[in-house]
């Protein structure tokens, strides 16, 4: 699996380089998108699906290839650890942490290459343009967990007011994405619908007392709708 993720990242960087090297004609666009983001492969044991919003800038380098510069932001709150109990070895009982709070923030800066399967025409007619998308960039994330009861206590009864130090993991990691989409274009306006798979070469620390293993890499599937304007 790690080798597959590395190959995906290498291919994304290669495709981006090749498409910029063979630019033929230019056209520009800007867009605003809304996204449903679903953590998978271990990441889903920490957080539920969430909303993403972002901006894109398009640079069409040929009738079949568009470079897309993307920024997006996501916030995942109420992580699953808030509802997990730990077993205290002193009395073998399970305890929830009623004051637990977790939050995952993500800000990403990506360069994507869109390889269209049909040639875009200079026309005001409605055009359906399916494409393959692949990209790479930087994913900056912060994972914050507070209010967990300290499970290493050795004297009964358990003191629920004694908490672990806040967990604050902050990283900027390289990542890649691959997806399929369809752009509906009429004149200067477009509607872009896309599904893609994201791989972030970052991790979340294990939380053994709550039976949460280390997560690496962070993987997500997202489904997005983008409203675009071209000139």
Enumerate the domain spans of the chain: 2-230
- Residue 188 main-chain phi, psi, to 5 deg: -90, 5
Share of the chain above pLDDT 70, in %: 89
What ranges in 27-131 are assigned the alpha helix state H? none
Query: How far apart (Å, rounded) are the C-alpha atoms in residues 61 and 15?
Result: 13
Q: What is the CATH number of domain 2-230?
A: 2.40.160.20
Judged on CB neighbours under 10 Å (0-12, 13-18, 19+), 56 is buried
For 158-204, the pLDDT digits (tens) are: 999 999 999 888 999 999 999 999 999 988 899 999 999 999 999 99
Alpha carbon 105 to chain centroid, angstroms: 10
How does the average pLDDT of the chain come out, rounded? 88
Q: Residue written as tokens 């800038």?
A: 57
- At residue 17 the predicted structure's pLDDT band, cuts being 50, 70 and 90, is low
Rounded to whole angstroms, the Cα distance separating 89 from 112 reads: 50
Select the more confidently predicted residue: 2 or 145.
145
Quote the radius of gyration of the chain (alpha carbons, Å).
22
pLDDT at 209: 92
pLDDT confidence band for 135 (50 / 70 / 90)? very high
DSSP code of residue 46: T
**Mean pLDDT of the 59-86 span:** 91
Q: Decide if pLDDT at 134 tops 70.
A: yes
The predicted structure's pLDDT at residue 64: 85
Band (pLDDT 50/70/90 cuts) for residue 124 is confident
User: Nearest to residue 31, comparing CAs of 61, 59, 2?
Assistant: 59
For strand 189-200 and strand 218-230, is the pairing parallel, antiparallel, or unpaired? Answer: antiparallel
Distance, CA of 140 to CA of 202 (rounded, Å): 9
């Amino acid at each position: 699996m790690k080798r597959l993720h590395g190959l995906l990242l290498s291919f994304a960087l290669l495709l981006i380089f090749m498409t910029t090297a063979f630019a033929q004609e230019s056209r520009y666009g800007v867009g605003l998108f809304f996204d449903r983001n679903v953590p998978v492969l271990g990441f889903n044991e920490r957080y539920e699906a969430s909303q993403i919003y972002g901006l894109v800038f398009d640079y069409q380098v040929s009738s079949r290839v568009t470079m897309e510069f993307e920024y997006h932001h996501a916030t995942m709150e109420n992580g699953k650890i808030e509802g997990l109990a730990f077993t205290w070895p002193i009395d073998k009982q399970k305890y929830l942490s009623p004051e637990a709070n977790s939050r995952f923030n993500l800000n990403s800066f990506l360069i994507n290459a869109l390889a269209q399967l049909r040639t875009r025409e200079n026309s005001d007619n409605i055009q359906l343009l399916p494409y393959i998308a692949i990209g790479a960039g930087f994913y900056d994330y912060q994972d914050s967990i507070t209010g967990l009861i300290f499970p290493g206590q050795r004297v009964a009864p358990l003191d629920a007011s004694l908490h672990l130090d806040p967990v604050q993991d902050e990283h900027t990691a390289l990542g890649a994405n691959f997806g399929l989409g369809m752009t509906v274009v009429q004149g200067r306006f477009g509607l872009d619908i896309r599904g893609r798979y994201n791989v972030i070469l970052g991790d979340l620390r294990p939380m053994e007392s709550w039976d949460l293993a280390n997560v690496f890499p962070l993987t997500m599937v997202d489904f997005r709708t983008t409203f675009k304007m071209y000139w």
